């Protein structure tokens, strides 16, 4: 199979999906958890008397919290997120919830995050992702220093990495609307794990490219990349399928608390495997064939036309 010939199909598709993902970050946007927007989250257990999501919503409105988000966790348990309740706010909510069933629900967990902590979390999350990408780029440049144009390998890997993260964020924006999936601190851990997995899968192919370039330096580069993908694709798919199977099993039977984190990992495995073959390797070939030079010449012409 000529994977390199397919780049004229898959690279535009990947670019379009990435652009759509960026748009989804603004409309509808990510469903941010209290780690990022501050507030109070409480998990209630109603035990034998389950009032239902609608009744709980009405009770929260009566308690003065129309902004509250209620999520049914099953087995009479509910996750409730509100603005910061302060010292007495929770007592008011508890009283309203007690009136629904005549029995005070059990509070399993309460977490309150102030606005300053949330701001720090946002900055730290962005810094962590940027630092990870920078270190990945420098590591690949060092690891491939014996190959001509090692910076191309590094930048191609980072392009694939950004592609993966954008698509994961876009999917989470949709899931936030459909099933109330939240972006919280554990999500950032998942994104960093996705970065590591994506780069690992890309390096498997790039390493084979490096070996084949050394063994047959006179061969056309696109043929070398295509041969390298064919030689390593079974290993990449085998590893990815095994990993995805374990994640799906945990997603089905691991409980609600791990759901969002496992969704990030599952998306990362699938998208990372795809991008290592159809994004990173193809960007490398396109760059070698002069696409980057044509792109840099196109930018000034585009500016002149729009000015």
DSSP code, position 28: I
pLDDT tens digits, 261-285: 888 889 988 998 999 989 999 998 8
**Rounded average pLDDT over 12-33:** 89
Residues 6+ apart with CB under 8 A from 159: 279, 280, 283
Measured distance CA(266)–CA(264) in Å, rounded: 6
Question: What is the CATH architecture of 4-33+117-306?
Answer: Up-down Bundle (1.20)
pLDDT tens digits along 102-148: 888 888 888 877 666 667 777 887 888 888 888 888 888 888 888 87
Report, at the CATH architecture level, how domain 39-113 is classified. Answer: 2-Layer Sandwich (3.30)
Where are the chain's structural domains?
4-33+117-306, 39-113
- pLDDT for 182 equals 79
The conformation of residue 256, written as its DSSP 8-state character, comes to: G
Model confidence, pTM: 0.78
Contact (CB, 8 A) for 265 and 198 = no
Output the average pLDDT for the chain: 83
What are the two backbone dihedrals, phi and then psi, of residue 45, each rounded to the nearest 5 degrees?
Answer: -125, 115
């Amino acid at each position: 199979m000529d994977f390199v010939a397919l780049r004229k199909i898959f690279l535009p598709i990947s670019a379009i999906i990435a652009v759509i993902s960026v748009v989804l970050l603004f409309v509808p946007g990510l469903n941010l958890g209290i780690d990022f927007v501050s507030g109070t989250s409480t998990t209630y257990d109603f035990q034998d008397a389950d009032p239902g999501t609608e009744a709980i919503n009405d009770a929260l409105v009566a308690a003065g919290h129309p902004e509250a988000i209620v999520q049914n966790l099953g087995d009479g348990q509910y996750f409730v997120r509100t603005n910061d309740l302060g010292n007495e706010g929770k007592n008011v909510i508890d009283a309203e919830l007690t009136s629904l069933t005549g029995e005070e629900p059990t509070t399993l967990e309460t977490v309150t995050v102030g606005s300053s902590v949330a701001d720090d979390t946002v900055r730290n999350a962005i810094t962590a992702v940027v630092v990870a990408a920078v270190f990945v780029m420098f590591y690949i440049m060092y690891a491939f220093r014996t190959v001509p144009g090692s910076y191309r390998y590094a930048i191609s890997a980072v392009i694939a990495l950004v592609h993966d993260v954008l698509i994961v964020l876009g999917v989470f924006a949709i899931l936030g609307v459909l099933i109330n999936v939240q972006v919280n601190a554990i999500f950032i851990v998942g994104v960093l794990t996705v970065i590591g997995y994506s780069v690992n899968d890309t390096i498997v192919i790039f390493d084979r490219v490096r070996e084949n370039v050394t063994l047959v330096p006179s061969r056309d580069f696109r043929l070398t990349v295509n041969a390298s993908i064919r030689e390593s694709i079974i290993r990449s798919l085998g590893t990815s399928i095994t990993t995805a199977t374990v994640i799906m099993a945990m997603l089905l039977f691991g409980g609600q608390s791990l759901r969002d984190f496992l969704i990030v990992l599952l998306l990362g495995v699938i998208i990372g495997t795809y991008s290592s073959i159809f994004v990173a390797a193809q960007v490398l070939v396109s760059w070698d064939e002069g696409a980057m030079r044509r792109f840099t010449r196109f930018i000034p012409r585009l500016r002149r036309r729009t000015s």
